[in-house]
Amino acid sequence: MDWFRISPSAYFVPVSVKIPGSVITMAQKKSGGQTEFDFIGNVMDERKSVVGQVRDYIQVKLAATEAEKLATRNFHYDAGFTLAPGRYRMRFLVREGQTGKMGTFDTSSQSPTWRPIP
């Protein structure tokens, strides 16, 4: 997990989720295909308190020519959290709306501890 220091007491932690198009089922419409994704994520500190959350619902509509190429492409979702230095656990869940398929990500990490140089 990467992070960027934005102040002496805060870090920005970006999250990027990639979903292979080959596992997605698109509902067929006259103009192409469509599906929906539910994204839910949270970050917990060492005391298991939630210090960051994201919840998003995204509809995807593709033209017929793009829907045909779906098996060789990916969907990409970005989010981010601003956190103080410390140890954290991040959990992320993605649910595809047409079939209900789900994927999860769970990791622990420690952001760097910044100390001024004397």
pLDDT band at 68 (very low <50, low <70, confident <90, very high): confident
pLDDT band at 1 (very low <50, low <70, confident <90, very high): low
Q: What pLDDT does residue 55 have?
A: 95
pLDDT band at 110 (very low <50, low <70, confident <90, very high): low
Contact between 101 and 95 under an 8 Å Cβ cutoff? The reply is yes
- Structure confidence by residue, pLDDT tens digits, 9-37: 888 988 888 888 888 877 777 667 888 99
How far is it, in rounded angstroms, from Cα 28 to Cα 41?
29
